[in-house]
Amino acid sequence: MSILPFAMVAIPASAGVASLLLPSRVGRVLTAIAGVATAICILLVAWATAHGQGRTDALSALFLLPVGIVYGTVGLYTYWYVRAESTGHDERHQREFLALTNAFACAEVIIPMLINLPGAWVALEGTTLIAALLVRMQGTDAALEAAWKYILIASCGLAFGLLGVVILYASAVHALGPSYAPTWSVYLAAAHRLDPNSVRLAFVFSLVGFGTKMGLAPMHTWLPDAHGAGPTTTSAMLSGALLSDALYIILRITSITRAAVGPQLPEHIFFIVGLLSLFLGAFFLLRQRDTKRMLAYSSIEHMGLIACGLGFGAPLAIAGALLHVINHAATKSMAFYGAGRIAHRYRTREIDQVQGAVTVLPISGTLFVIAALALAGLPPFGIFRSELMILAGGLGTSRWVPAVIMIALLVVSFAGLVRLVTGMGAGDAPAVPHGERFGIASLAMVCGLVVVVGLGLFVPASLGTLLTRAADLVFGGAS
């Protein structure tokens, strides 16, 4: 088991280097294999952690799962995507794309495994730089604009995150001495001796900084552009895995803050940014004309929902928020793959110009509609379960006002998403080739479907254990 954490990093890193050096047809195969192999390693680590083995704690193991799900399916989808989108791009471009995709996955795997805060910041900033190059690879003017805005906003936002990290470090100097290892466990052990006001300040700066990367409003402005203009696989990795990585760091700082100064400040701030994100996500989603931007606003809405779950502060709501991270990763990546397939066939991403997708693409089109309905919160999918857990946990704390606002905004986004997506799936298909074979891209979507439906029907015992332990860690700082 001890080799698995090393393998989880070494596999995508090796695939990245090999993809750069070898022909792209080989790189595609390697990327698919690396994605699946890394996903298996992550599943084994999560299973071992749930059974008390290994050195990874429950929160880290839990946040490795969305990365595993997304990278595993991205690897498969990339095999089709690079070949399908190769027209007009040269061999070098494809190699760079494959290398950057694997490097991005490698950085995303590293973040939940790091035990110290400054290191996690560096890795998260690393993902910004790689993702900006990936977004740019689409080659359009919109892609350049999105990449520029992304790197500038995310880097400046992360500056606040680093200031939070520095202030948190300073808050413990009188208790731990001027030079100490800034690990999660060290902070938690010394939580009661940290300077309270410095911790509060550090939390606020960290939430602004890492919240920018998580896509929380009002720091979300980069997200629709980057998700919309980037390659499909990059959009899936940004939405499914990177947002959860940023949340992971926020949760670590939240657990320290709760232990040091109590739950009031984090809960209030989570409510404010959560409800604002839900509001903006739900209403901007209604006016979208571009499929991928629609999914991007859905991401903002779901990040808001997760923040609200953390705002409720009850163990059930926190566990629901954590489960929502996994559900969102699986569902959103599946939806992006479907959107990519539809855009490839229809040669447009305009929602108004896509009709009859279920007829034109019987597998991808149908799976896209299912993924979108799952995102809207319909049963029996996983998102329905986690939303219910968040609400039940919230109502259990008798916080009626935010709970009612949350339900109202969820209804708005539900109505908007269902209206837009049923319009795309149903209706008369235009004059585009009909039909598709079950290929590797479909397989990627089916893998997502298994998770989306599976977690809606039941939560495996090992995952339940991880959720409980991780929620305890956030709630009370216990391991």
Partner 1 sequence: MQHTIGLPAAISGTVAMFLILTQLACFRSVVIGELIRLYAVQSFLVAGIAAVVAVTTHAWDLGVLAGVTFLLKVVFLPGYMSSLVRGVSKRVEIPVRINVTLSLMLAAGVTGLAILVAARLTETAGVFLPRADLATALAIIFIGFLLAILRPNALAQVVAFLTIENGLFFGTVTLAPGLPFVIGMLLLVDVLVAVVVFGVLVRVLVDGQNSAAIHPFERLIG
Using CB under 8 A as the criterion, which residues of the chain lie in contact with partner 1 when the complex forms?
116, 118-119, 122, 125-126, 128-129, 132-133, 136, 141-142, 144-149, 151-152, 155-156, 159-160, 162-163, 166-167, 169-171, 173-174, 177-182, 195, 197-198, 201, 224-225, 228-229, 284, 287
CB of 136 to partner 1, least distance (A): 6
In whole angstroms, the minimum distance from the beta carbon of 413 to partner 1 comes to: 16
For the chain, state the CA radius of gyration: 21
**165, 121 in Cβ contact below 8 A?**
yes
**Calpha distance 20→103 (Å, rounded):** 11
**What are the contacts of 118-127 at 24+ separation with CB within 8 A?**
118/162, 118/165, 118/169, 118/182, 120/248, 120/249, 120/252, 121/158, 121/161, 121/162, 121/165, 121/249, 124/158, 124/161, 124/210, 124/213, 124/245, 124/246, 124/249, 125/155, 125/158, 127/213, 127/242, 127/245
- To partner 1, the closest distance from the beta carbon of 15 in angstroms equals 21
- Rounded to a whole number of angstroms, the minimum distance from the CB of residue 220 to partner 1 is 12
E-only strand ranges, 287-336: none
Residue 378 beta carbon to partner 1: minimum distance, rounded to whole angstroms: 27
CB atoms within 10 A of CB 400: 10
Tell me if 418 sits within 8 A of 373, measured CB to CB.
Answer: yes
Least distance in angstroms from the C-beta of 173 to partner 1: 6
Smallest distance, partner 1 to C-beta of residue 79, A: 27
Q: How far apart are CA 222 and CA 216, in angstroms?
A: 11
H or E stretch covering 272 = helix 264-286
Nearer to partner 1, 244 or 288 (CB): 288
CB of 448: closest distance to partner 1 in angstroms? 27
* Cα–Cα distance, 466 to 357 (Å, whole number): 38
- CB 203 to partner 1: min, Å: 13
Q: How many CB atoms lie within 10 A of CB 178?
A: 8
Which residue, 57 or 225, has its beta carbon nearer to partner 1?
225
Nearest approach, Cβ of 149 to partner 1 (angstroms)?
A: 7
Amino acid (1-letter code) at residue 239: S
Closer CB to partner 1, 141 or 428, in the complex: 141
Altogether, the residues listed in the chain come to a count of 479
Nearer Cβ to partner 1 (200/399): 200
- In this complex, which beta carbon is closest to partner 1, that of residue 34 or of residue 132? 132
Tokens of 49: 């952690």
Listing DSSP states for 42-96 in one string gives HHHHHHHHHTT-SS--HHHHHHHHHHHHHHHHHHHHHHHHHHHT-TT--HHHHHH
**CA–CA distances in Å: residue 430 to residues 390, 418, 438:** 41, 21, 22
Q: Tell me the two tokens of residue 129.
A: 């730089």
**Closer residue to partner 1, CB minimum distance, 125 or 436:** 125
Token pair of 246, please?
Answer: 């940023």
Alpha-carbon torsion angle 259, 270, 198, 221, nearest 10: 140
Beta-bridge partners for 183: 116
Q: Tell which phi-psi region holds residue 262, choosing left (phi > 0), alpha (psi between -120 and 50) or beta.
A: left
CB-nearer residue toward partner 1: 136 or 469:
136
Work out how close the CB of 80 gets to partner 1 at its nearest, in angstroms, rounded to a whole number.
Answer: 27
Nearer to partner 1, 144 or 446 (CB): 144
Nearest to partner 1 of 25, 92 (CB atom): 92
> Closest Cα partner for 241 from 322, 328, 324, 162?
328
Between 143 and 417, CB nearer to partner 1: 143
CB of 28 to partner 1, least distance (A): 24
User: Smaller CB distance to partner 1: residue 201 or 446?
Assistant: 201
CA distances from 391 to 48, 249, 265, 308, 321 (A): 30, 24, 21, 9, 10
Cβ closest to partner 1, residue 144 vs residue 443: 144
